[in-house]
Structure 1
Amino acid sequence: MKMHILSGGRLRMRKSVYLPEADRSETIDLPVSCVLLRHSQGNVLFDTGCHPSTVEDSVGRWGTMAKAMTPIGGPQENVVSELANVGLVPEDIDVVVNSHFHSDHCGCNEFFKRATIFCHQEELRAAQSSDAVQKGYIPADWQHPMPVVAIDRERDFFGDGKLTLLPLPGHTPGTLGAVVNLARDGSFLMAADAVALRENLEREIMPRNTWDPDKAMGSLREIQRLARAGTKVLFGHDARQWEEVRKGLDAYE
């Protein structure tokens, strides 16, 4: 199996959202990552990043949520363009796994019309609730006609230990991570917003946009356990790590 790290856009937000002690005037630039897994049984995309239209008109796509996060990526910084750089088109993707249904993680779902969408059942329930839009769930990003499989527990996706979906609730009710085991490069955890920044993990800091701090801390403890066992944590939005990892055609195997 090969793992390609792809850009799903870039955002600028208040730093205090992730590190509450920061001055509220201070901002932080955040990479948005997507991960392509090329397995003999199919191509899996973990998260789909921001919709391309947000580069020019974030308010038109996100409404008032655009006040909280500002897209700063270029017109080609989206997962569809990134897939083209590795020789694939959206129709080549068999499965999309959404860590959760916030717009910077599922914004390009609509392009993957042949795929089956996997999510956690609690996330689907939250996105379908009467106050979902106020909580950051934008129907244009997550609500599409493709089949949806909602899981409620850890799942060995291919049955061979190479990809395991792992519930990591707290940031949202149904946040999912994924553990990838590669023959050459070892084990990785795609933590998404269960741990957005390295500093959140190392200093055990809860971001302000945490749905349930107690559950989030439980998920953080599980991530710490995996890290101690040798799993490399891929943080949801860590700019320093983004500069360090291999990206695009330079795959992990």
Structure 2
Amino acid sequence: MTRFAKLIAVAAGLLSATSAIAAPATADKLWRLDCGTVHVNVLNAFSDTQSYPGQARDLAASCYLIKHGATYMLWDTGLPLAMKGAPDDRTKPMSPTLRLSITEQLATIGVKPEQVTMVGISHYHFDHTGQAADFAKAKLFIGQGDYDALKQGGSGADARPLAPWFGGGSPIEGVSGDKDLFGDGSVTMIDLPGHTPGHHGLLINLAKTGPVLLSGDVAHFHENLDSNGVPGFNTSRAESLASMDRFRKLAASLKAIPVIQHDSRDIAKLPAFPAAAD
């Protein structure tokens, strides 16, 4: 073989390897679950520039079940069961209520809580951790910044909903940066800090649907994301703006379906439960 032919063969091998790396595996199914509603009676709580005077809005609390082979993973765990059937209280800035538990919805599709062996949490706020303890045997994945804040008891960081992992001995991993959860590119936690120190989104690759990019709380509704609106309770304004920029650009470059988890307009992009995206 001539030197030139050898170079061609090496280049072809590199191209083949690159193509293999660039083609991630896919998860089997993605279900969206109803994990409550938060009636926001003072929408300015979500704007440090007071952009929504006198406005109110319902924010969905959504969770997601992912099937990857024989493994079930839950992304976010919604409002606490104590809020089931809670009435709307217009005297409060925010009034959360829950209609169905996660375990009730899983029973509809024949999945038992103990079959869920992985739980990913976008961040430590109560509307994303509320029912985590129902899956106490699962391994918990949470951003390292949030893990540290929960260990230290920082302002707004309440570890009690995650007690099985914080003191209870259940397996937990703090995630720094992006994390390929199955090692095959099918499901990746995406580093999007700012709302909380270790806030993450989730990228799921599906065979038919294509990539789906779940926001966590990088933004709470379209108007926030479109205007770079930052809630006053975010832990870093600069990181929030950078993460919104990354979320938008990542969705565009991957041609992913972006889903703002609190915006019902985006949640409706996925099939209504019990149907699943595949």
Q: Which residue of 2 aligns with 1:242?
A: 267
Structure 1 residue 163: Cα displacement:
0.4
- Distance, in Å, in 1 between the alignment partners of 2:94 and 2:172 is 27
More displaced stretch, 238-247 vs 2-11: 238-247
1:84 lines up with 2:104 in the alignment: no
Q: Does residue 181 of structure 1 match 2:209?
A: no
User: Which of residues 114, 117, 120 is equivalent to 1:94?
Assistant: 117
Give distance in 1, aligned partners of 2:33 and 2:171: 24
2:176 maps to amino acid: D
Q: Which residue of 1 aligns with 2:32?
A: 5
Aligned residues of 2:270 and 2:277 also touching (Cα < 8 A): no
For the pair 1:139 / 2:159, whether they are aligned, the reply is yes
User: Secondary structure in 2 aligned to 1:240?
Assistant: helix
Is 1:69 equivalent to 2:56 in the alignment?
Answer: no
Partner amino acid, structure 1, of 2:258: V
Distance in structure 1 (CA, Å) of the matches to 2:257 and 2:86: 36
Note closer, same or farther for the CA distance 1:149–1:68 as it changes in structure 2 (3 Å cut): farther
Is 1:126 the equivalent of 2:149? yes
CA distance in 2, matches of 1:243, 1:191: 14
Give the gaps of 5 or more residues in structure 2.
1-27
The one-letter code matched in structure 1 to 2:38 is L
Q: Show CA shifts across 1:152-209 (max 9, x none).
A: 1211111211101111100000001111111100111111101221222222222222
Match for residue 228 of structure 2? 204
Does the 8 A contact of 1:5 with 1:246 survive in 2? yes
Query: Number of aligned pairs?
Result: 240
Larger radius of gyration: 2
Give 1:9 shift: 0.8
Between the aligned partners of 2:144 and 2:96, the Cα distance in structure 1 is 29
Residue 46 of structure 2 corresponds to: 18
Q: Would you say the 8 A contact 1:8–1:33 is kept in 2?
A: yes
Amino acid at match of 1:90: P
Q: How far apart, in 2, do the equivalents of 1:181 and 1:242 lie?
A: 17
Deviation at 1:227, TM superposition (A): 2.1
Q: Do the aligned partners of residues 222 and 159 (structure 1) sit closer, same or farther apart at CA in structure 2, a change above 3 Å counting? A: same
Q: Structure 1 pair 195/12, CA: closer, same or farther in 2 (3 Å)?
A: same
Contact 1:55 1:71 in 2 (8 A): no
TM-superposed CA distance for 1:143, in Å, is 2.4
Structure 1 residue runs of 4 or more that deviate by more than 6 Å after TM superposition: none
Q: Encode CA deviations 1:29-53: one digit per residue, 9 max, x unaligned.
A: 1110101000015111000001111
1:35 alignment partner, one of 58, 64, 70: 64
Structure 1 alignment gaps of length 5 or more: 59-65
Label 1:86 to 1:68 Cα distance change in 2 as closer, same or farther (>3 A). Answer: farther
Taking every aligned residue pair, what percent have the same amino acid on both sides? 28
Query: What is the match of residue 23 of structure 2?
Result: none
Query: Any idea what the Cα deviations from partners look like across 1:111-136, whole Å, max 9, x if unmatched?
Result: 00220101111101112224x3xx33
Q: Answer yes or no: is 1:169 the counterpart of 2:193.
A: yes
> What RMSD in Å do the two structures reach over aligned CA positions?
2.0
Q: Which residue of structure 1 lines up, in the alignment, with residue 18 of structure 2?
A: none
Worse overlay, 237-246 or 142-151: 237-246
1:46 and 2:70 matched: no
